[in-house]
Amino acid sequence: SSELTQDPAVSVALGQTVRITCQGDSLRTYYATWYQQKPGQAPVLVIYGKNNRPSGIPDRFSGSSSGNTASLTITGAQAEDEADYYCNSRDNSNTLFVFGTGTKVTVL
């Protein structure tokens, strides 16, 4: 399968922890990469590889994986974390990329 499935929406209270999941067969082989997209802006890379953050991404963002499920955790969510989050990975053919369906995170 070349699909990555995410919950459409989650909400989190300010300062609390939220976990966003991404499910797909390819995640048994490849790490998921995570992107944050705010309205009217291009996506921004937030987590890549096993659990790596690009320069400038706060350490409240972390990634993990188990079986066919990858997770992005925001520990101590801030108002500025309200955004759409997408996972992506290679598919099992290793020649194609697939993006997840996206999760809208609302910070209450």
Partner 1 sequence: QVQLQESGPGLVKPSETLSLTCTVSGGSISSSDWWSWVRQPPGRGLEWIGEIYHTGSTNYNPSLKSRVTISVDKSKNQFSLKLSSVTAADTAIYYCARVAYSGNHYGDFDFWGQGTLVSVSS
**Which residues lie near partner 1 (CB under 8 A)?**
30-31, 33, 35, 37, 42-45, 48-49, 52, 54, 86, 88, 90, 95-102
- For residue 9, CA distances in Å to 31, 73, 107 come to 22, 14, 11
Q: Spell out where the chain has E strands.
A: 5-6, 9-12, 17-23, 33-37, 44-47, 61-66, 69-75, 83-90, 97-99, 103-107
Pick 3 or 16: Cβ nearer partner 1: 3
Cβ 96 to partner 1 shortest distance, Å = 6
Cβ 88 to partner 1 shortest distance, Å = 7
Pick 71 or 103: Cβ nearer partner 1: 103
Contact, 85 vs 57, CB < 8 A?
no
Cβ 54 to partner 1 shortest distance, Å = 7
Pick 29 or 78: Cβ nearer partner 1: 29
